[in-house]
Structure 1
């Protein structure tokens, strides 16, 4: 009769049975990778879910336990354990029993180590040191202690050691004032300079042109006078000789 219980009914029954030892607590907000306040992610201790004798439990009890572990593994975003549980739920009673007795904890340990490794991506010095210490210990307690508490304590130290961002007001104030002053000075100076140049060459009168051009004109006039006088003298002499 127990073997005819559907998987859906077992899952519903598993969710109705209270998960044994964990008392609900209001968790203190912590810092995430960007040093912003968030709610902490608390990993479930799978060992506390195994409250039956795996050697004497019947198939229904084994399946209920498997579904409870599957639910916790999915909530914790474990990478391997959910798939392994699902695979054994599709197998025989003895396959499921063997997995719950030996395979589930070893697979869970592997997932915890992967989860610890994920926290080291782009992490600070304190987080990496705490993570490596937990990985070196290799025990369930050390891995869980790091993921549930040690990670956030180390991250708080890393966030506190980061330099404060520089204010963005000072750099923007200086450039905006300088160009406007230069532009206004240039604009006011340009018309005066332009007007002066036009006045020198226009009709309204600048000073008369003197210098090299005047000397050339005077020299040419003097040369013409000399040539005219010489021609007059020569012509007069020729006329006197002819009359004589």
Structure 2
């Protein structure tokens, strides 16, 4: 998460144990994340907490097409989730090399995903006890992500749908494209870099003379991202239409490749 917004995420974490499901967690008031792979290919979801504690969901795991996995997130947890694609595990199972979203070759991530990567970001039980969440393209895009709040306590008028349903890879300008290198992905666009990663200038990275909301605005590249994904962050200060809140007790369905539903 870029420095301009990291202060808005409370870096608190209670201990958490990975599980395929947690019966009764919702009834007990615990937030439950359900991850659904709606892509036509296997992905390796990854999680990272906002501090040095163990991430929810154990940090990472394999998820086949059409499969779901659920795990709890404690009040006060702040962090991010993303999909790794094009992954090949070592014969020993001790490491994992991924074409996108790789976290230093680890199966269970303790580092952020290498950009370009689409991020789902959460703070549970933040200001006024509310949850804050968003989907961000600030670090680029690899697959679509949709975040829907569910459960009996959800107010549909306030708990909005965050996400990137559009296929940014299909619209990605040539100068931002990342091409696959192996198998049936060779030569195809597997990810779309952010302008900051591609060019490294203050204008695109919201740094230096462009380091504030009044001096860093949308660019032709962030506008392209925003047009494809109106409910996602397109650049660092894209807050008004991109950050969502929900009351405590909501559950969250995170769908990868939601456009393929």
Tell me whether the two structures share a fold, i.e. TM-score over 0.5: no
Q: Structure with the greater relative contact order (CA < 8 A, sep ≥ 6): 1 or 2?
A: 2
Using structure 1 for the length normalisation, give the TM-score. 0.23
Query: Which structure is higher in helix share?
Result: 1
Relative to the length of structure 2, the TM-score reads 0.22
Which structure is higher in strand share?
A: 2
Computing the radius of gyration from Cα coordinates, the structure with the larger value is 1
